[in-house]
Structure 1
Amino acid sequence: MSTEQRKQFGAYIARLRHEAKLSQRQLADRLCTLSGLSTLTRNEVSRWERGGRVPDSWLPTIARALGVPPDDLERAARYARGETLPVETLSPVETLRQLLPPDDLLLPLESGGGRRIGRESATSLADRAHGLRLADDVLAGSDLLAPAFRELGAAVRLFRESSHSEEVGRALLVQIGEIAQIAGWIASDAGQHGRAEQAYRLGISAAREARDFTLVGNLAGSLAYQWSNTGREREGVALANAALAEAGPRAHPKAQAVFFDRLAWAHTSVGEAQPAMHALEQAHEALVSVETEEAPSWAYWVCEDELRVMDARVYTELRRPLRAVPLLSDVLGRYDTTHAREVALYRSWLVVALADANEPEQAANEARRILSAGVASERTAERSRVVLRRLKPFSVVPEVDSLLGDYGHALAR
């Protein structure tokens, strides 16, 4: 049994107790009343919360006392005991809980020292987070990786080494979550998936601590998207569902649209056509919802065209090229060419859809545009290999033969 897993479970019990507005003594008293026993003391509750012991026999009573589903508590306890739980069998709550970092890097230093900072520090972090997002629109992950993680490290240090009010602390945690999300996205684009997952986990912890559950959903959904693309497809479905559940029905329509799109992609990655199509419909329905509140800053890019791109990608993967080709052709005809990576990625699905539609000449011409762009992105490089492999069966077509002659070496990487 891992000490860190027990500590994580203990922190979970403590968080539930705080949410129930109970002291350790009050929880012990409530448990005694519910169980009819008088042997439990505050010291035992403290021992659970420190990670000294997992309260196995008390779990059903704790669930009643704290108003949580018994299954959620039992799953968390099994994880604390070191039992391996497949992510797809977990509830949304437990799926996210298992992502929290074992060592809480966000705890303020015990000294409580450091200069006093105010709301303007959080505002500055917000500006820097958005600056990274805008840079990511036009630069590849390998170019932004070091700056992004420098920003993330600086944000964590600012939170830990300064003194601030509870309100400012919450705002700082939100911005740590925001920077962690874009840093994770950048690392994923650079092919550093382990580093990306670490950033997403840290961000989830910060966003949950700040009680910004829409941001939790964005971070968890980003990780689900990575899993769906890196061989953990079934876990990706579970986590995409968890992200949607964590954000809840009150999330901004733009955020909901993103979460449904990621769920659609997750279902597509495991070949589940009908759930994927249904999630696409829900994404469009969410986006047209009337909403007076301002959308989260990270959702600035969400629009009908971006949803149509995901529609087309899903149609392509499900081998429905007659739906995909018109959508992608239309969107790419109007897309901002300064976003070279996205243009290359989206064009790669157009190539595959054209090949599926038995249009190898046009597919080869589109593929050449991708391969000649030279975008420094591992995602783009992988999609380039996908494109070349898909066109190999058409090697007797002159345009394809020429393309493979010029760029076929990329398949050896």
Structure 2
Amino acid sequence: MGNVIGANIRRLREARDWSQSRLARETCRAAHIQGEPVERQDISRYEHGKGTPREWLPHIAAALGVRLEDLTSESAELRASKARLGDYLPDVNPLAPVCGTRTRRLGSRDVHDIAHRAHGLRLADDVISGGDLIRPALRELRTTVKIYRESTYTESVGNSLLAQIGEMAQIAGWIASDVGRPEEAERVYRLGMDAARQAEDGTLLGYLTGSLAYQFSNTGREADGVALAQAAVDEAGHGAHSTARALYLDRLAWAHTKAADARSAVRALGDASEALAAGGGGRAAPGYVYWMNADELKIMEARCYTELRRPLRAVPLLRDVLARYNVTHTRELALYLSWLAVALTDANEPDEAADVARRALDISQCIASARTSGRVRVILHHLRPFADVPEVAALFRDRGLGRPD
């Protein structure tokens, strides 16, 4: 019952475009009580099923302008949404405050320091593989959660801390996935999603949701990938910065591609291009989408076309971007070269594919990444049917792989 009540409170509050703080104030006003015996934290706890409003329930209903049964009954809308984000949030609240006295007082400077460390991890991930970053990333995440649970702060600082937990969880989850630990990555993503939701940051929630959807799409859970990628777009809404929205649509395109739905994939790619071209309307994009640009969108378009076996569309896009790609981003360079090699084999250009594959394999040798290792296997699989092509045979011989057949 608690989860039903909490979900209804959140749904009806958001329908009015109210914050949790606004609902707390309106509840007190409906109860004709001065002061704030109901606070934002109470509303958050009710919405997450961590407590029941009990005597406050009629006053919450009055504040929202609904009947009491509208809060206690499972609505059709609620039943329809159960298969979305709720299934991927933690069963217990790992962000609950630690019982007892909390003596450390945090301010905006502390949040700034945490944000600086999170962004440092993101920049490091551009040039260092997951195998070298996983331990510091998880350590930073644990430290940030501990600070949040064991400190005191204002409501504003608390929300900012939750957002930083979400950002830290996204990069830690991404790194865990890169080293081939998808179960751990999923747990970390779910923690971050819960933090973003508690912070009421729809844009960040969309980023984390899209990241988990991307992992699902790449680990044999294609239907979950599509559902969650669509939820990321829906959660963020049109209020999200255009660059962030382009990224969510980019993830949706990939999810449809992995589910072999070419029409939906192409439509999502077009929507992503339109979103990116729209610009931010003078608003700055969130720092965590700093890497999303027109070239990255071209890469995803090319990857989708490669996966859909349309190499004549994929090859020109990949060649264009790779001609100017930052060579210090070695993991991404190896990954993108792998897509070009596969597209070239599909285009019946095995000699050129072998040359590109050789470069991708050379780069991959010094990268501790499950993603690149997996792509190496894909390249070799696509080259094996061309055993009689001299360039292909030489590649396998030089790598000590024997004959490709």
The answer to whether structure 1 residue 310 and structure 2 residue 300 are counterparts is: yes
Q: Which amino acid aligns with 1:397?
A: V
The answer to whether structure 1 residue 71 and structure 2 residue 91 are counterparts is: no
Question: Post-superposition shift, 1:98?
Answer: 1.5
Change (3 A) 1:356 1:382: same
The answer to whether structure 1 residue 129 and structure 2 residue 118 are counterparts is: yes
Specify the alignment match of 1:83 in structure 2: none
Q: Distance in 2 between the 1:208 and 1:62 partners? A: 26
Q: Distance in 2 between the 1:62 and 1:162 partners? A: 38
Question: Post-superposition shift, 1:7?
Answer: 6.5
Q: Structure 1: give runs of 5+ residues left out of the alignment.
A: 1-5, 28-44, 52-60, 76-89
Q: Deviation per CA, 1:323-370, whole angstroms, max 9, x where unpaired?
A: 111110110010000000000001111001100111000000100111
Q: Distance in 1 between the 2:202 and 2:151 partners? A: 25
Q: Which amino acid aligns with 1:368?
A: R
Specify the alignment match of 1:392 in structure 2: 384
Q: Structure 2: give runs of 5+ residues left out of the alignment.
A: 14-19, 32-45, 53-65
Q: Deviation per CA, 1:87-136, whole angstroms, max 9, x where unpaired?
A: xxx53x65111211112111112324121111111111110110000000
Q: How does 1:216-255 map to 2 (within 5 A)?
A: 216-255=205-244
Q: Contact (CA 8 Å) 2:4, 2:71: kept in 1 or not?
A: no
The answer to whether structure 1 residue 358 and structure 2 residue 363 are counterparts is: no
Q: Distance in 2 between the 1:205 and 1:410 partners? A: 50
Q: Distance in 2 between the 1:288 and 1:315 partners? A: 21
Q: Which amino acid aligns with 2:300?
A: M
Specify the alignment match of 1:405 in structure 2: 397
Specify the alignment match of 1:80 in structure 2: none
Q: How does 1:164-203 map to 2 (within 5 A)?
A: 164-203=153-192
Q: Distance in 1 between the 2:142 and 2:2 partners? A: 24
Q: Which amino acid aligns with 1:369?
A: R
Q: How does 1:200-211 map to 2 (within 5 A)?
A: 200-211=189-200
Q: How does 1:47-126 map to 2 (within 5 A)?
A: 50=51, 65-66=70-71, 70-73=75-78, 75=79, 91=81, 94-126=83-115
- Correspondent of 1:299 among 285, 289, 293: 289
Q: Distance in 2 between the 1:116 and 1:410 partners? A: 64
Specify the alignment match of 2:326 in structure 1: 336
Specify the alignment match of 1:34 in structure 2: none
Q: Which amino acid aligns with 2:70?
A: A
Q: Deviation per CA, 1:183-228, whole angstroms, max 9, x where unpaired?
A: 0000001110001001100000000000000000000000000000
Question: Post-superposition shift, 1:13?
Answer: 5.6
Q: Which amino acid aligns with 1:288?
A: A
Question: Post-superposition shift, 1:12?
Answer: 3.9
Q: Contact (CA 8 Å) 1:184, 1:200: kept in 2 or not?
A: yes
Moved more, 394-403 or 13-22: 13-22
Q: Distance in 2 between the 1:231 and 1:62 partners? A: 44
Q: Distance in 1 between the 2:50 and 2:142 partners? A: 28
Specify the alignment match of 2:339 in structure 1: 349
Q: Contact (CA 8 Å) 1:17, 1:23: kept in 2 or not?
A: no
Change (3 A) 1:410 1:183: farther
Change (3 A) 1:355 1:63: farther
Q: Distance in 2 between the 1:321 and 1:132 partners? A: 35
Q: Distance in 2 between the 1:370 and 1:253 partners? A: 33
Q: Distance in 1 between the 2:332 and 2:402 partners? A: 20
Specify the alignment match of 1:322 in structure 2: 312
The answer to whether structure 1 residue 215 and structure 2 residue 204 are counterparts is: yes
The alignment covers a number of residue pairs equal to: 365
Q: Deviation per CA, 1:125-170, whole angstroms, max 9, x where unpaired?
A: 1101100000000011111000000000000000001111111000
Q: Structure 2 length normalisation: TM-score?
A: 0.84
Specify the alignment match of 2:368 in structure 1: 376
Moved more, 318-327 or 216-225: 318-327
Q: Which amino acid aligns with 1:65?
A: D
Q: Contact (CA 8 Å) 1:63, 1:70: kept in 2 or not?
A: no
Q: Contact (CA 8 Å) 2:5, 2:71: kept in 1 or not?
A: no
Q: Contact (CA 8 Å) 1:10, 1:50: kept in 2 or not?
A: no
Q: Contact (CA 8 Å) 1:311, 1:324: kept in 2 or not?
A: yes
Question: Post-superposition shift, 1:308?
Answer: 0.5
Change (3 A) 1:395 1:50: same
Question: Post-superposition shift, 1:288?
Answer: 1.0
Q: Distance in 2 between the 1:9 and 1:70 partners? A: 9
Aligned-residue sequence identity (percent) comes to 51
Specify the alignment match of 2:136 in structure 1: 147
Q: Which amino acid aligns with 2:288?
A: W
Q: Which amino acid aligns with 2:370?
A: E
Question: Post-superposition shift, 1:65?
Answer: 2.7
Q: Deviation per CA, 1:58-108, whole angstroms, max 9, x where unpaired?
A: xxx9796349981243x3xxxxxxxxxxxxxx53x6511121111211111
Q: Distance in 2 between the 1:295 and 1:340 partners? A: 25
Q: Structure 1 length normalisation: TM-score?
A: 0.82
Q: Contact (CA 8 Å) 1:351, 1:366: kept in 2 or not?
A: yes
Q: Distance in 2 between the 1:277 and 1:255 partners? A: 19
Question: Post-superposition shift, 1:372?
Answer: 1.4
Q: Contact (CA 8 Å) 1:325, 1:354: kept in 2 or not?
A: yes
SS in 2 for 1:302: coil
